[in-house]
Structure 1
Amino acid sequence: MSFNIYHNLIINASQKEVFDAVSKPVHLDNWWSLKSTGNPELEAEYNLNFTEEYNWFCKVSKIEPDSIIAFKMMVSDKDWNPTTFQFELEPYKEGTMLKFSHVNWPEANDHFKYSSFCWAMLLNGLKNYLEKGIIVPFEERN
């Protein structure tokens, strides 16, 4: 049995803008990671650096430009290692519906629950970044 996190939200930005924000390091570092590297291409490796202790690696496991990008964790926390997180984008009125998933957690433990809360907060930060240009300093992100 595995456990999954799901969050849907509407962002008043184009699918391309949202896709770029969830796939390009120059944008990821404005709402999620401290510093990251990678290219939105199938099998491309990303380095997601949060701190010296949390210097994680994943690879693009699925991609449809401006529509879907999924990342399979490779080197991370033991709870995150078997997981994949995905951003699926659909047109919605004048914006984009973002359907987020983070699947295949081994347990619904405290880390799983905390990560679900953090994703909700971070995705709200992504929304504010795209809609209002707000960049929350890394030290203040959850």
Structure 2
Amino acid sequence: MENRILFDLYINASKEKVFDAFSLPKHLDNWWTLKSSGKPELNTVYNLNFTDQYDWYAKVSKVKQNDVFFLKITEASSDWMPTTFGIELEESNNGTLLKFSHSDWQHNNHEFRNSSFCWAMLLNGLKNYIENGIIIPFSDRN
């Protein structure tokens, strides 16, 4: 059985705003990474830097502007290899439905369960960032 993290989240904003906040480094650094680089274009490499010890890389594996964005991890801690995570966006009466998935986990272990919790917290931070402009300092993120 595949281990996969799944979340649905309504965000009161346009699909374009949600897509940009999840895919552009200038926004990622406000809710997830310490510093990042990359472009939401197929096969582009993203650098996802959290600390010197956690300086990870991923490749855009699927992208459709304002609809779909997925990254496949290429360099990270062993538990995150070779996982893929990303979003699918749907218009809704409440703005945008963000459908998040993080798949291909090899083990249902502590890192998998901890990452599930962290994604829940981070996606809530993403929602607050988009809807209210709240930036949580990197040192306060989980």
- Separation in 2, partners of 1:124, 1:26: 18
Q: Give secondary structure in 1 for the equivalent of 2:80.
A: coil
How far apart are residue 94 of structure 1 and its match?
A: 4.1
Q: Deviations over 1:3-31 (max 9, x none)?
A: 10001000001000000000000000000
How far apart are residue 2 of structure 1 and its match?
A: 2.8
- Runs of 4 or more off by more than 2 Å in structure 1? none
Give me the TM-score of the superposition, normalised by structure 2. Answer: 0.98
Alignment match, 2:58: 58
Structure 1 spans left out of the alignment, 5+ residues: none
Alignment match, 2:2: 2
Q: Give secondary structure in 2 for the equivalent of 1:59.
A: strand
- Overall identity of the aligned pairs, in %: 57
Residue 94 to residue 8, structure 1, CA distance change in 2 (3 Å):
closer
Q: Give secondary structure in 2 for the equivalent of 1:62.
A: strand
Counterpart of 1:95 in structure 2: which amino acid?
A: G
RMSD value over aligned CA atoms?
0.7
Check whether the contact 2:4–2:105 (CA below 8 A) recurs between aligned residues.
Answer: yes
- Separation in 1, partners of 2:19, 2:82: 24
Alignment match, 1:36: 36
Q: Deviations over 1:77-97 (max 9, x none)?
A: 101011000111000114100
Alignment match, 1:124: 124
Give me the TM-score of the superposition, normalised by structure 1. Answer: 0.98
Matched, 1:70 2:73: no
How far apart are residue 58 of structure 1 and its match?
A: 0.1
Alignment size in residue pairs: 142
Counterpart of 2:15 in structure 1: which amino acid?
A: Q
